[in-house]
Amino acid sequence: MGIVLKAFDPALHRPVAIKVLAAEYAANGAARKRFAREAQAAAAVVHDHVVPVHAVDDNAPRPYMVMAFIPGRSLQQRIDHSGPLQLKEILRIGMQTASGLAQAHGSGLVHRDIKPANIMLENGVERVKITDFGLARAVDDSSVTQNGVLTGTPQYMAPEQARGEPVDQRADLFSLGSTLYAMCTGRSPFRADSSISVLKQVCEAEPLPIRSINPDIPAWLEGIIAKLHAKDPVRRFQSASEVADLLEHCLAHVQQPDQHSLPRVAQELGRQIEGPRSALFLHRRHLTTAAVAVLGLVALLWVILPIWRKHDVDTNAESASMAGASLNPALNEDNITQGLGQVRDRLHDLEQSFSATDLAEFGSPPLDRIRNQTGLLERDLYSTSPPSADPVDAQLENIRRRLEQLKQDIGRRFE
C-alpha cells in the first residue's frame, strides 16, 4: 500500500521513518480510509514493543505518517541470515511479541498480519518492535474490509482468516505460533507452490513436527506452539497476555533451572507431545542403540576370543619348547585383559541402554530377562571353572548362542 522512507526531523534532531501511501492508491477513497485506520491503530498502541507513531496527515495529497526509526533488521532477515534461533532467543522474542500484541488487543485491535517480516529487532539489544499495522482494525469494524476479502500473508494466516471469516485476537495468536515455528525451524510452517495451496494447508493440514526438523527444541515448546496452532480458536490460548506470561516463566526456567521450575502448563503440553507415538519412537531408538551394542559386542568377541585361543596355544607350545621365552606383545596378558574389559564395558552399556527404555510398558520380554542374559554372557566370559574339552571353543559357542538369542529378542521389539 505504500513505501517507507528514512528521514530526518530537524526540530527534534532525530532520524524518523515516514510511511507514504502509494501514488496509485492516493486517489482511492477506500485506500485512504484504510491508511487512516492504520495510522489510528498504530498511534493507539503505546507500548515498548510496538513501533511508536509520532504524527499523521491523512489529508495530504499523498497521506503519510511519521514513525520512530528503528535501527536494526527484521526477524525475517535474522532468520534468513542465521537460520533457527537459540532457545533463549526464541522465548525472549516470542514473549516480547506477545506482550506487544496484548497491548494492541487491549485497545480492541487485531494486527492481522503478524509474521517475522513485521517484527523489528532493534540493534544491539534486539528488542522487539512490532510494525505495520496496515491490516489492523477494530474487532467489530467491518466497514473497510468486506466479507470474503482476504487480507494478510497466507503462510502466517489463521484458518478462520484464510476462510474469510470474522477474526478476533486469537487469529494473531495463531500467527504468533507460526512465527515461533519459523524461529525454531528456519522456515514457515505452511509452504506450497501457490497461495491457494498454502491456504488449504493452513485450514486442513498440520505442519511437520518441529523436533523432526530441529531436535534441539524441547517438547514443551513444541507443545506450546501446537496449542497456538489449533485449528479451532477455542482450543488455542485465549489471550496474548497469557502467552507472554507463560513464555516469560519458561525463559526464567531455561536461564535458571535451579531457581525456576517449568510452568505446569508447559509440562502438560510437553507430555502431550511425548505421547504414545513419541514414546514408541524413543523406545525404538533405545532398541536400535542396543542392537548396535550387540553387533559391536559380537565383533569384539570375534576378534578377542580367537586371539585368546591363539595366546593359549602359543603359550603351551612355547612352554614345551622354550621355557621362559617372551610372548608376542600383541598377544600378551595385558592386551587380552584390556580387550576383555572392553567386552565388559559393552555389556554394561547394553544393559544401561535397555534400562533406559520401559519395556514392560510395551508388553515385550521383561527387562529382567535381558539383564539376566547379559549377566550370563558376562559369567560365561569370565567363568573361572574350566569347561570340558577346549575351554575357548566352549565359551565362544556358548556366547554366540546367547548373543543370537538376545538379538532375536531385540528383533521382536521392532515387529
Computed on alpha carbons and rounded to an integer, the radius of gyration of the chain in Å comes to 33
The catalytic residue among 113, 132, 172, 409 is 113
Which candidate, 71, 178, 78, places its Cα nearest to that of 129?
71
Is residue 194 within 8 Å of residue 153, measured between CB atoms? no
393 is catalytic: no
Between the alpha carbon of residue 47 and those of residues 80, 116, 138, 348, the distances in Å are: 27, 19, 18, 58
Q: Which residues are catalytic?
A: 113
